[in-house]
Amino acid sequence: MSLQPTKYSPLPLGSIRPLGWLARQLRIQADGISGHLDEFWPDVQESAWFGGQAEGWERAPYWLDGLIPLAYTLDDPALKAKAQRYVGYILDHQDEDGWLGPGVPAGYDLWAVLLIGKVLVQYHQAAGDERALRALEANLRNLDRQIDLHPLFNWGSFRWFEGLIAIYYLYERSGEDWLLELAVKLHAQGFHWAEFFRRWPFTRATPQFRWNYMSHVVNNAMAVKAQGLWWRLSGAEADYRAAYDIYEKLDRYHGMVTGMFTGDECLAGKRPTQGSELCAVVEYAYSLEWLISIYGDPAFADRLEQVIFNALPATFSPDMWAHQYDQQVNQVECNLRPRPWVANGPESNLFGVEPNYGCCTANLSQGWPKFAAHLWMRSADGGLAAAAYAPSSVEVEIDGAPVRVTLETEYPFREELRFSVALPEGETRRFPLWLRIPAWAGGARLEIGGEALTPSAGQFYRLERAWQGQSRFSLRLPMRPELAPGFNGAAALRRGPLVFALAPGEDWRRINAENPQRALPHADWEVYPTTPWNYALLLNPAGLENQVRFIERPLGDVPFSPQGAPLEARVMGRRLPGWGMDGGNAADVPAGPQRSPEPLEELRLIPYGCTNLRITEFPLLAD
């Protein structure tokens, strides 16, 4: 047995540094809930993983899974010290038989073992601590013995493939066969996602109150990468293709314009008032990062940006202290009024510390830092691939020379990307840069050394040069407005990787203030609209560019906020007096073009990721 090579390989954590707005966003996150969760939230502060009495299963490892890449990507000494202290405690308390963390081996759902493996891989890469690798090996040997007697069940069974990440990491360093044999056992005992999706029954919203593991939105978001990871070992064409089957079916039957699919918390269909759980957002992004690596397919990277630039920031308060469990594409108020969600309670769309349930509180930290850590990857032909775009710099060694590539940009709010490639004085290295040209970027223009190239859209474009000294080049990715189809004939406005939404004025009302664990800044909030939202747009897909006016605003300290939106779209619309509320939701819009006696108004739409309340899927006007 052996492993199929990946098309692009993720770089060791810490190789990529965020710049510009991305650095500011990671700093907001570090100063918000992610950097402070252990100071006030009992399930981490007093976790059984750290010797306390509170939850001792997934919550502390979930938090570390995001804290470690945040700390080492930002290179923040205080956060790195936190990561070292907590991981150090876990390593110091490993049982002699290899078991890590709390819990009784028999009757313990082994999902937490798969999760801590991913944590230790990142920690080993970032901190270079060999103890983490030895602890991981002993823990996997223990897992190997455990599942002989107590096969995977429940979460461990549905998330078996998450274990492959640590197993492959160790195998690529030791080459020991028992690791791949362990992978085969996990596969045999785990849920067969590819087989299930072949005759997949979930082509509509899950019936209310029918919670189940198979349509559980986070399980599905994780499972998007299952077949790609497994193909590396099986080498079977059917496994390779099955990842596309899962990805496409989730999209077709549950997909939203944000790139996410719904699940509140089981798959919930195409209605824009269904929720998408935050855990699913960050897990889907992480799955896509693996699919980019394994397949080298730029479509997965287009999708990753769509999820990260839209769905991720929208579900946090701008200061990243409060988050929602479920976000809605059409979300006109956040409170406890009834919603027709599959299984989640009405508190799911509050902004707070632990709305509905604490999994997202623990798991939310991985979204931005893992995105930053996967912007650049190594290509199999000795070069670098720009998988996704955000201001960043990357340092790698190529044929013994340190190479630094820097990307200065205000993308995704602007079209222009400026790269520089720097080698030490007197050194020359020939290698390719693989530049992603998104599928929406027809007419892309690459200017290098007085030459203008026009790479076609929907590919990784190979730019090979003998690089020496400092070279600069620029790439323009033209972003044009387009209408994406929505539920019941509604439509949403997109431009490049961004989705645009109407953001009504907001009234944030603090709740649970008497609870000492909700002392500011980590409080719970309801949000109410202060201005109308029930508009239909006068937009025609033909000649759309003449109907939408884009206005650039300065990219400030908090770009993902209604006030800080770096880009606006001005469109025309009329209020629809008959479009009202259904419980706490904006009611469904009747199918077909709408008529309204109300006056035509110019409306300001902003990027979805900048909004807290929003209408994204609009009815269209007949005239």
Residues near Zn ion, by CB under 5 A: 279, 359-360
The residue (of 360 and 384) whose beta carbon lies closer to Zn ion is 360
The residue (of 221 and 492) whose beta carbon lies closer to Zn ion is 221
Residue 555 token pair:
């990219």
Pairing of strands 524-529, 601-607: unpaired
Nearest distance from C-beta of residue 63 to Zn ion, angstroms? 12
Nearest distance from C-beta of residue 277 to Zn ion, angstroms? 5
The residue (of 359 and 483) whose beta carbon lies closer to Zn ion is 359
Nearest distance from C-beta of residue 356 to Zn ion, angstroms? 8
Cβ pair 536, 578 in contact under 8 A: no
The residue (of 366 and 611) whose beta carbon lies closer to Zn ion is 366
Pairing of strands 384-386, 428-437: parallel
The residue (of 359 and 423) whose beta carbon lies closer to Zn ion is 359
Nearest distance from C-beta of residue 274 to Zn ion, angstroms? 16
Nearest distance from C-beta of residue 118 to Zn ion, angstroms? 16
| Ordered DSSP codes for 531-550 | S---EEE---STTGGGT-EE
* Lookup result for tokens 């908090």: 558
Whole-angstrom Cα distance, residue 83 to residue 36?
12
Helix count and strand count (H, E) for the chain: 19, 25
The residue (of 233 and 353) whose beta carbon lies closer to Zn ion is 353
The residue (of 91 and 362) whose beta carbon lies closer to Zn ion is 362
Using a CB cutoff of 8 Å and minimum separation of 24, what contacts does 394-402 make? 394/11, 394/15, 394/16, 394/17, 395/15, 395/17, 396/11, 396/15, 398/429, 398/431, 399/429, 399/431, 401/427, 401/429
Cβ pair 10, 380 in contact under 8 A: no
Q: How many alpha carbons lie under 13 Å from residue 107 in its C-beta half-sphere? A: 2
The residue (of 179 and 359) whose beta carbon lies closer to Zn ion is 359
The residue (of 221 and 501) whose beta carbon lies closer to Zn ion is 221
Nearest distance from C-beta of residue 281 to Zn ion, angstroms? 9
Nearest distance from C-beta of residue 368 to Zn ion, angstroms? 16
Nearest distance from C-beta of residue 282 to Zn ion, angstroms? 9
Nearest distance from C-beta of residue 359 to Zn ion, angstroms? 3
* Lookup result for tokens 């402070």: 36
The residue (of 250 and 606) whose beta carbon lies closer to Zn ion is 250
Nearest distance from C-beta of residue 216 to Zn ion, angstroms? 10
Torsion angle of the four alpha carbons 143, 148, 154, 156, in this order, in degrees rounded to the nearest 10:
30
The residue type of 226 is A
Query: Residue 331 pairs with which residues in a beta bridge?
Result: 614
Q: 240: alpha, beta or left, given left = phi > 0 and alpha = psi -120 to 50?
A: alpha
| DSSP for residue 425 | T
Number of CB atoms found within 10 A of residue 430's CB: 13
Give residues with Cβ within 8 angstroms of 211, minimum separation 6.
265, 266, 342, 343
Integer CA distances (angstroms), 143 to 57, 111, 156, 160, in order: 15, 11, 11, 12
Q: 479: alpha, beta or left, given left = phi > 0 and alpha = psi -120 to 50?
A: beta
Nearest distance from C-beta of residue 369 to Zn ion, angstroms? 18
The residue (of 73 and 344) whose beta carbon lies closer to Zn ion is 344
The residue (of 87 and 362) whose beta carbon lies closer to Zn ion is 362
The residue (of 260 and 359) whose beta carbon lies closer to Zn ion is 359
User: Comparing C-alpha atoms, which of 42, 112, 116, 28 is closest to residue 70?
Assistant: 28
Residue with the shortest CB distance to Zn ion: 279
The residue type of 351 is F
The secondary structure element, H or E, covering residue 319 is: none
Whole-angstrom Cα distance, residue 365 to residue 279?
10
Nearest distance from C-beta of residue 212 to Zn ion, angstroms? 16
Cβ pair 44, 67 in contact under 8 A: no
* Lookup result for tokens 């203030």: 513
The residue (of 281 and 396) whose beta carbon lies closer to Zn ion is 281
Nearest distance from C-beta of residue 308 to Zn ion, angstroms? 17
Residue 445 token pair:
């223009």
The residue type of 172 is E
Nearest distance from C-beta of residue 360 to Zn ion, angstroms? 3
Give residues with Cβ within 8 angstroms of 376, minimum separation 6.
11, 15, 16, 384, 385, 386, 387, 392, 394, 405
